[in-house]
């Protein structure tokens, strides 16, 4: 299983270490040519979403990645990554991939609570540690979006089809279960694609 990690800015190395620990192979997306390599899933890490969005376009990777996401490639997006996926930003005019039908507030906790740590329930996993750093949260999730976790009443993790987005940084804590959930999603998607290919061959398509 090969996972591509956006590596133009932000906390991408920590994601790579987690995924490799769980048995995945990682490649770094730094330039357009990296997209020529096959991969099964995508990680959009935390960092500065405005910088990441600008670099994705300047480096010629934006359109190809958006196409892959829209086609169903599994994505794990944390903090800035959630902002890149969001359909709408309630306090910012920028829009990026806009593939995840949620409204997100950037720097939602303000400067005083810019960084904090808590433990909350995550659907399908149980209680997980959550590290927030100048974090956004989801103000509104549209129909079809599954809420995976809340903190202080705010939505901080969601899933829509194969896109998993969260406000916090699971790569900074010892718990590996969220990354394992992502890899399970990738594996399931690969099995579905393989089944479709076999079916098409059998039918001569």
Q: Which residues are identified as catalytic?
A: 79, 169, 171
Quickly list DSSP for the chain. -EEEEE-SSSSHHHHHHHHHHTT-EEEEE-SGGGGGS--SEEEE-SS-HHHHHHHHHHTT-HHHHHHHHHTT--EEEETHHHHHHEEEETT--------EEEEEETTTTTTTTSEEEEEEEETTTEEEEEEEES--EEEEE-TTPEEEEEETTEEEEEEETTEEEESS-GGGSS--HHHHHHHHHHHHHHHHHHHHHHHHHHTT-
């Amino acid at each position: 299983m090969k996972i591509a990690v956006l590596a133009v800015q932000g906390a991408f190395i920590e994601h790579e270490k987690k995924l490799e620990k769980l048995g995945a192979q990682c490649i770094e997306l730094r330039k357009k040519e990296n997209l020529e390599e096959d991969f099964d899933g995508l990680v959009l890490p935390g960092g500065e979403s405005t910088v990441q969005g600008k670099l994705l376009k300047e480096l010629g990777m934006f359109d190809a990645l958006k196409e892959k996401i829209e086609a169903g490639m599994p994505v794990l997006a944390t903090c800035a990554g959630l902002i890149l996926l969001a359909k709408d930003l309630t306090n910012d005019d920028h829009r990026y991939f806009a593939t995840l039908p949620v409204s997100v507030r950037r720097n939602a906790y303000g400067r005083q609570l810019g960084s904090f740590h808590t433990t909350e329930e995550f659907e399908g996993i149980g209680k997980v540690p959550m590290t927030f750093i100048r974090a956004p949260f989801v103000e509104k999730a549209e129909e079809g979006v599954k809420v995976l976790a809340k903190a202080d009443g705010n939505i901080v993790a969601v899933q829509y089809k194969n896109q998993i987005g969260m406000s916090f940084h699971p790569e900074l804590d010892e718990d590996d279960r969220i990354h394992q959930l992502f890899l399970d999603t990738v594996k399931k998607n690969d099995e579905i694609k393989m089944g479709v290919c076999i079916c098409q061959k059998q039918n001569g398509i």
